[in-house]
Amino acid sequence: MTIETVGIVGAGQMGNGIAHVFALSGYEVLLNDISQESLDKALVTIGKNLDRQVSKGKISEADKATTLGRIKTTLTLTDLGQTDLIIEAATEREEVKAKIFDTLLPHLKPETILASNTSSISITRLASRTDRPERFMGVHFMNPVPVMQLVELIRGIATDEPTYTTMLDIVARLGKTAASAEDFPAFIVNRILVPMINEAVYVLYEGVGNVQSIDMAMKLGANHPMGPLELADFIGLDTCLAIMNVLHDGLADTKYRPCPLLTKYVEAGWLGRKTGRGFYDYRGATPVPTR
């Protein structure tokens, strides 16, 4: 399967990063969002991230200009129907993702491959709602996309071999490394990572340590580049909670029970960096722990 054009649904943190790496690797990209403001912001972010790569000598100014020239935007989801590959990178809610694919289906080329950047939701279940479960895969990029090397490839029960090998080739062309995962809740990375974050929130909830001591302990004691609570704020506490709920519901094991404190922060709208407050308050010059 020859992939030349790529449609991306969602221009947020993940979507704009995916658009960046595909355009830089020579693909024509059509980026969709429901908000013009989000699309404009995405282009600014991509430009800044390309500038960072230029300053480090990884790409040239000409590469930057060519890359930005390959990215087009649209507010109309169905415009993506004529692309060769569509990657959904919308919010981590299954009903939202399902509605996106339902809307796209009547407008797709027969050979178009569908993919979801979901970090935890069943690929088999998402694929089963479409007319092409054999050409549907999970393609889970890590955040921030331009920097992180790994892409998890998740085959649904119906995904065929040509689709899988096509996505393997694409990941290689992007200059990234694929890790193949079976279609079970949260796959590999988040099955391990997010329960660790949830446990860190329990340690905070039970008063074993405060935000600062927990993060310092894991950075200096386990050599983690970021503490688990700092990382949770970076990912988004709503996303962490959504993944824990998927694990808890899908595996029916009490060890995946979301910490009540994590739920409370999400209920308060303190979702981390993107809202200005989470386990840290980001509204000042330097982040301040909120507990």
Catalytic residue ranges:
119, 140, 152, 190
- For 130, other C-beta atoms within 10 Å of its C-beta total 18
What whole-number distance in Å separates Cα of residue 257 and Cα of residue 248? 6
* 3-class secondary structure, 181: strand
Distance CA 152, CA 142 (A): 8
Task: Give which of 21, 73, 72 is closest to 50, Cα–Cα.
Answer: 21
- Distance in angstroms (rounded) separating the CA atoms of residues 157 and 113: 16
Question: Which conformational region is residue 122 in: left (phi greater than 0), alpha (psi within -120 to 50 degrees), or beta?
Answer: beta
Q: Identify the sign of the CA torsion 238, 239, 243, 244.
A: negative
Tell me the CA end-to-end span of the chain in Å, nearest whole number: 52
255 class by beta-carbon count within 10 Å (0-12 exposed, 13-18 middle, 19+ buried) = exposed
Task: Pick the closest to residue 199 from 143, 269, 275, 261 (CA basis).
Answer: 261
CA atoms within 13 A on the CB side of 120: 24
Q: Is 32 helix (H, G, I), strand (E, B) or coil?
A: strand
Contact call for residues 176 and 151 (beta carbons, < 8 A): yes
